[in-house]
Amino acid sequence: MKIVFYFGGYRNADSFPIFLNLFPVCFMQIFYCHSVQMAELHLIGQLVGAIDFSSGSCLFCKWSVSAGGSWRLLGGAESGQTQTAAGTMVTGSESGQWFWSHPIDVHYATKGVQGWPKLMCQVFHLDLHGRCVLEGYGVTHFPASPGLHQVTIPCWKPCSGSLKDQLVKTFLGGSVVLRNPQMAAGPEDRYKLKTSGSGSVLVEINVISRHFNKFGVHLG
């Protein structure tokens, strides 16, 4: 059920003298000029699904949204986990597609453009024995320009370097994971890693910005 509130008397606009109707509107606009409004950003969308992951019939994704120091979360969940989706294999190839349609809805207020919000996701594969095997890490910046964006996040997973690790992985399953998964969200220390690409996560995001223009910020 949608509840509609009408505070002003604009509904019956024709029933009142014009000046009486205009007066509150003018009043409101004068008022608005004097209040401080910080820039706000709405990020509304969904984790659509994953494609191209080669192994694993059941995939789920842990996601988190993070932003820099000048950003404050006003509403919405900053992290979550999708359901486990059994994918369908695309005929003629080894890869499949998995759909989660997991909603993302966050609202930020900010006093600066540095540290633009990022979406980090970790894709796991739930195997037959109920173990969660890492399938990939991925990160993306939320688009800066307002509107609808289709984003593809290429994911990677760390490679086990030694022969022993590879043997263990081949026979027992499991995977090598980062000690600190947040490392995947940043560019630091990446050069120490050896990785292999896994698949891609598809994200659909609506960006709504507010009051950025007031501070001379152009988002495009």
Subset of 94-123 contacting another protein (CB under 8 A):
109-114, 116, 118
Smaller CB separation from another protein, 42 or 128:
42
End-to-end Cα separation, the chain, in angstroms: 36
**Site residues (CB under 8 A) for another protein, limited to 16-55:** 16-17, 20-21, 23-25, 27-28, 31-32, 35-40
Note whether 67 and 142 are within 8 A (CB).
no
Three-class SS string for 18-58? HHHHHHHHHHHHHHHHHCCCCEEEEEEEEEEEEECCCCCCE
- 169: which DSSP letter? H
Which position among 130, 163, 170, 216 is part of the footprint of another protein (CB under 8 A)? 216
Closest CA to 79 of 120, 42, 138: 120
* Number of residues in contact with another protein under rule CB under 8 A: 75
Smaller CB separation from another protein, 94 or 105:
94
Which of 59-67, 124-132, 149-157, 164-172 is the region at the interface with another protein (rule: CB under 8 A)? 149-157
> Closest separation between CB of residue 75 and another protein, Å?
11
**Site residues (CB under 8 A) for another protein, limited to 164-183:** none
DSSP 3-state assignment of 153? Answer: strand
According to DSSP, the β-strands at 79-81 and 58-66 are antiparallel
AA letter at 3: I
**Site residues (CB under 8 A) for another protein, limited to 58-97:** 70, 72, 74
By CB under 8 A, tell whether 148 contacts another protein.
no
Which position among 132, 195, 204, 206 is part of the footprint of another protein (CB under 8 A)? 195
Residue with tokens 């990160």: 139
Smaller CB separation from another protein, 126 or 210:
210
**In this structure, what token pair is assigned to residue 154?**
């290429």
In angstroms, rounded to a whole number, what is the distance separating the alpha carbons of residues 186 and 139?
8
Which of 55-63, 97-105, 167-175, 187-195 is the region at the interface with another protein (rule: CB under 8 A)? 187-195
> Closest separation between CB of residue 2 and another protein, Å?
6
Which position among 155, 175, 202, 203 is part of the footprint of another protein (CB under 8 A)? 155
In angstroms, rounded to a whole number, what is the distance separating the alpha carbons of residues 102 and 81?
8
Which of 42-50, 124-132, 167-175, 191-199 is the region at the interface with another protein (rule: CB under 8 A)? 191-199
Which position among 51, 126, 132, 159 is part of the footprint of another protein (CB under 8 A)? 159
DSSP 3-state assignment of 152? Answer: strand
Note whether 203 and 63 are within 8 A (CB).
no
